[in-house]
Structure 1
Amino acid sequence: MIEFNQNPPLLHDYTQLLNQSRDKIDVKRLVNNDHVPTEIMEECQLPLIDLSGLWSENEEDRLSCGLEICKASAEWGFFQIVNHGINLELLRKMRKEQVKLFKASFEQKAAPGLLNNSYRWGNQTATCPKQLSWCEAFHVPLTKISDDSCYGDFNSLREVMQEYAGSMQELAKSIAKVLVTNMGVQRGAWEEKCDASTCFMRLNRYPPCPVSPEVFGLVPHTDSDFLTILHQDEQVGGLQLMKDSKWVAVKPNPDALVVNIGDLFQAWSNDVYKSVEHKVMVNREVERHSIAYFLCPSYESFIGSCKEESSIYRSFTFGEYRSQIQQDVKTFGHKVGLPRFLVSTGGDA
């Protein structure tokens, strides 16, 4: 029997999209206990970087750590970091508060004002099952996390979230500093692009999915920021990325945070650093949580190449980029991204 009383109502949305789709399949076969064989996914170990070298008094250690960061950003677009300076107790507290938040009723989470009205689930622009993300999330601008009125009945979340965001901001800027310096650019003007007033946090929950593995937890995409720091579930896998033209699964590391390069750093570096397509797959039995910190500039900031004389991309503002993404998703059902801004195509894709 199909159950629709889920929190959030993802199964209801999925079934509606399935019934509207031209490519209809047996809904009951998917939502009952008829397990669909899963593809055997190759598991990869991301480059693992010990960040203690970044703050070492030894110049050779600092240079070596910086080179590891830049190499991983260019070859993988993803890497894991340990000894990153984020208090492990703070990570545990943040996860505890996150789980508490998502355990609330659907009505509580969708209540007006909670975390700047940032609660979302699924994908409201999806027109077919392949465009639906089986997740719920709060996508919160950092400018709102100190606002008492944003927390409603979740008062204990405010202090932890503020401390977490501050720590992630410092870590993200430290990594960005390495990447900028590696390109031979003075970082002063660049640092002004990103501060606590322009960045975001996203709290994710991927509920158990009765139609797994037919749907995505998060559809394939690239991130639209400079870089992302992800605190993912230590036990439940699901993150996959595109490597050498094939999908590979990222093995969870309980001691590490995951860092990935976003579109803006790829454009700014003239394709030296790679913004890699990635996705999240759901689990039929177990829920998964993650927290993403997005290092973003202001919407008015221009994203030009650091190699202006041979730039692959035309200059554009972050606001222009976000607007184009939203337009493409509405028109085509998916993000087009950086190809829109290539000089050689005149912006057409």
Structure 2
Amino acid sequence: MSLKAPNVQDMVRSDPFHIPDSFLAVRNEEDEPKSVDASSDLCSEIPIIDFTLLSKGQKEELNKLDLACKEWGFFQVVNHGVETQVLQGMKDAAAKFFDLPLEEKSKISMSLDKFQGYGQAYAAAKGQTLDWSDTLFLSVYPSHSRNLEFWPTSPKGFKEAIEAYSTEVKRIGEELLGSISQIMGMEKDALLGFHQELVQVFRVTYYPPCSKPDKVLGLSPHSDTSTITILMQEDDVTGLHIRKEGKWVPVEPIPNAFVVNVGDMIEIWSNGKYKSIEHRAVTNKSKARLSYATFIIPRNDVEIGPFNHLVDQSSRKYKKVIYGEYLRSSLKGKLEGKSHTETAKIGS
């Protein structure tokens, strides 16, 4: 559920120096992880996976994937085979959509009972701190799940761009699920069995510039309720931070690469061996930023719990959860770190 909230892009257009109190992030400096510079060694250590080698089952690349999921929960994917024109077509069409007048975009505004359409994501409770961003959420796969009343009719070609892009991301997602199944000691199609039909949700987020970027957050710290998330960043604007070793580490864009992160479901299935890492988005003073996130998620009725071959009774950390219930519970509240994953732990 998403409550009605101010449109950030329109607010900045009207007065770029005004920041309403509802967007001011209250931070405890003692508890707040320090942000590290982009030149930090940690930034350069974020794993890079060669998709072509991974698809061929090369052992070295599978080992890199295992390490990435275990130590980072994030990695970048290169050599994925998606044509540059498909990636750029998605970026160009989304930029044109967010350039439309507010009244045009508002024709597909999110409703209180449907988490699709255009608006402020995760505005779930009155009085909460709001994120400095506007969002378009769409259910893309399976095709019959699409609620076309929330699909934009402008600009021309936007639907086709989403279709072309999402088809390619689906291919990549299925291959990654197969590789993660393998490093978890299972048959390659094991995880895909929990994703029939594969459910894929697409979110484009627009982060306007902010006159005081240290006072707001583009997207509050959280982990994803997905199985995996596949993200396309802008090539020239850094905004994604991941929490590593008590610090916020910027994920520097690699042109045409995808950023992939482990979701809560992989953490639960692996009994915590693989981590769904806390991450956030920040803003800057001078330039808007768009990001394109695809969430690969199980069916609503799938029961999620640690795989038996990865645990014994004394080492089991997580309860069994029904995915749809876990997801609906998470959407009722504000994004808040790893708090929701904690609810799935035994003894919580």
Which residue of 1 is the match for residue 243 of structure 2?
Answer: 242
C-alpha contact (below 8 Å) 2:218/2:282 kept by paired residues: yes
Which residue of 1 is the match for residue 277 of structure 2?
Answer: 276
1:134 matched to 2:132? The reply is yes
Counterparts of 1:22 and 1:164, CA distance in 2: 37
CA change 1:204–1:261 in 2 (3 A) is: same
Cα deviation for residue 65 of structure 1 reads: 1.3
Which residue of 2 is the match for residue 27 of structure 1?
Answer: none
Query: What code does the residue aligned with 1:70 have?
Result: D
RMSD across aligned C-alpha pairs, in angstroms? 3.1
C-alpha contact (below 8 Å) 1:225/1:263 kept by paired residues: yes
1:325 matched to 2:323? The reply is no
Cα deviation for residue 145 of structure 1 reads: 5.5
Cα deviation for residue 289 of structure 1 reads: 0.9
CA change 1:154–1:78 in 2 (3 A) is: same
Query: SS in structure 1 opposite 2:94?
Result: helix
Which residue of 1 is the match for residue 10 of structure 2?
Answer: 8
Unaligned runs of 5+ in 1: 24-38
Which residue of 2 is the match for residue 120 of structure 1?
Answer: 119
CA change 1:184–1:249 in 2 (3 A) is: same
C-alpha contact (below 8 Å) 1:116/1:150 kept by paired residues: no
Query: What code does the residue aligned with 2:47 have?
Result: P
Match runs of 1:261-340 below 5 Å: 261-307=262-308, 309-310=312-313, 311-327=316-332, 329=333, 336-340=339-343
Cα deviation for residue 86 of structure 1 reads: 1.4
1:12-46 Cα distance to aligned partner (Å, 9 max, x none)? 99514279x999xxxxxxxxxxxxxxx86332122
Counterparts of 2:293 and 2:234, CA distance in 1: 11
Match runs of 1:157-196 below 5 Å: 157-195=158-196
Cα deviation for residue 294 of structure 1 reads: 0.6
Which residue of 1 is the match for residue 99 of structure 2?
Answer: 103
C-alpha contact (below 8 Å) 1:303/1:315 kept by paired residues: yes
C-alpha contact (below 8 Å) 1:203/1:292 kept by paired residues: yes
Cα deviation for residue 6 of structure 1 reads: 6.1
CA change 1:333–1:128 in 2 (3 A) is: farther
Counterparts of 2:235 and 2:261, CA distance in 1: 17
Query: SS in structure 2 opposite 1:111?
Result: helix
C-alpha contact (below 8 Å) 1:8/1:121 kept by paired residues: no
CA change 1:320–1:116 in 2 (3 A) is: closer
223-232 vs 145-154, greater mean Cα deviation = 145-154
C-alpha contact (below 8 Å) 1:17/1:127 kept by paired residues: no
Counterparts of 2:125 and 2:211, CA distance in 1: 19
C-alpha contact (below 8 Å) 2:330/2:340 kept by paired residues: yes
CA change 1:159–1:146 in 2 (3 A) is: farther
C-alpha contact (below 8 Å) 1:226/1:294 kept by paired residues: yes
Query: SS in structure 1 opposite 2:157?
Result: helix
Query: What code does the residue aligned with 1:320 have?
Result: E
C-alpha contact (below 8 Å) 1:120/1:138 kept by paired residues: yes
CA change 1:126–1:211 in 2 (3 A) is: farther
Query: What code does the residue aligned with 1:54 have?
Result: L
Counterparts of 1:160 and 1:109, CA distance in 2: 17
Question: Which is bigger in relative contact order (C-alpha 8 A, separation at least 6)?
Answer: 2
CA change 1:267–1:122 in 2 (3 A) is: closer
1:41 matched to 2:46? The reply is no
1:69 matched to 2:65? The reply is yes
Cα deviation for residue 281 of structure 1 reads: 0.6
CA change 1:293–1:112 in 2 (3 A) is: closer
What is the aligned length?
319
Query: SS in structure 1 opposite 2:224?
Result: coil
Unaligned runs of 5+ in 2: 1-5, 28-33
Counterparts of 1:295 and 1:138, CA distance in 2: 17
TM-score, normalization by structure 1: 0.82
1:286-324 Cα distance to aligned partner (Å, 9 max, x none)? 000110111101111111111363431111111111232
1:61-91 Cα distance to aligned partner (Å, 9 max, x none)? x121111111111111011111012111100
Counterparts of 2:263 and 2:136, CA distance in 1: 20
Cα deviation for residue 155 of structure 1 reads: 3.7
CA change 1:111–1:91 in 2 (3 A) is: same
65-74 vs 46-55, greater mean Cα deviation = 46-55
TM-score, normalization by structure 2: 0.82
Query: SS in structure 1 opposite 2:165?
Result: helix
CA change 1:195–1:208 in 2 (3 A) is: farther
Query: What code does the residue aligned with 2:36 have?
Result: M
C-alpha contact (below 8 Å) 1:14/1:132 kept by paired residues: no
Query: What code does the residue aligned with 2:172 have?
Result: L
CA change 1:81–1:5 in 2 (3 A) is: closer
Counterparts of 2:105 and 2:122, CA distance in 1: 16
Counterparts of 1:304 and 1:215, CA distance in 2: 36
